[in-house]
Homo-oligomer: A and B are copies of this chain.
Amino acid sequence: MEGGGTYNRSSGVQASDLDRAIAAFTQAAREVPLPPSAEPVLLADYGSSQGRNSLRPMKAAIEMLRTRLGPERPLCVTHTDLPGNDFATLFETLAQDADSYLAGDAAVFASAVGRSFYQRILPPASVSLGWSSWAVQWLSRAPAPLPDHVQVACSNDMAAKQAFARQAAEDWRDFLAARSFELRPGGRLVVLTMARDDSGEFGYRSLLQALVDELRDMVAAGFLRADEWARMTIPTVGRNRDEWLAPFASGASFEGLSAVHFEQVEGHDRFWAQLQADADTRAFGANWAAFSRASVFPTLAAALEPASDEGRRSAFMDRLEAGVAGRLAAAPERMRIPLALLVIAKPQA
**Chain A residues near B (Cβ < 8 Å):** 39-40, 74, 76, 78, 83-88, 90-92, 94-95, 106, 109-115, 120-124, 126
B115 touches A112 (CB 8 A): no
Residue from the list B74, B85, B106, B121 in contact with A88, Cβ < 8 A: B85
The 9 A-B residue pairs whose C-beta atoms are closest, nearest first, are A91-B114, A87-B87, A83-B91, A74-B123, A111-B111, A40-B123, A83-B92, A111-B113, A84-B88
Instruction: List 20 A–B pairs whose Cβ atoms lie within 8 Å, in order of A's numbering.
Output: A74-B123, A74-B124, A83-B92, A84-B91, A85-B88, A85-B91, A86-B88, A87-B88, A87-B91, A87-B114, A88-B114, A91-B114, A106-B120, A109-B121, A109-B123, A110-B113, A110-B115, A111-B113, A112-B112, A112-B114
Q: Which residues of B contact A112 (CB under 8 A)?
A: 87, 111-114
A88 touches B95 (CB 8 A): no
Residue of A94, A114, A124, A126 with most partner-chain B CB within 10 A: A114
Q: Which residues of B contact A88 (CB under 8 A)?
A: 83-88, 114
Q: Which residues of B contact A94 (CB under 8 A)?
A: 83, 114
Closest to A125 in B: B38
Closest to A76 in B: B123
Q: How far is the CA of A87 from the CA of B83 in the complex (A)?
A: 8
Q: How far is the CA of A198 from the CA of B203 in the complex (A)?
A: 70
Residue of A74, A83, A106 with most partner-chain B CB within 10 A: A83
Residue from the list B74, B84, B91, B122 in contact with A115, Cβ < 8 A: B91
A84 touches B76 (CB 8 A): no
Q: How far is the CA of A92 from the CA of B115 in the complex (A)?
A: 9
Q: Which residues of B contact A111 (CB under 8 A)?
A: 78, 111-113
A122 touches B109 (CB 8 A): yes
B90 touches A114 (CB 8 A): yes
Q: How far is the CA of A176 from the CA of B108 in the complex (A)?
A: 20
Closest to A91 in B: B114
Q: How far is the CA of A91 from the CA of B121 in the complex (A)?
A: 12
Closest to A38 in B: B125
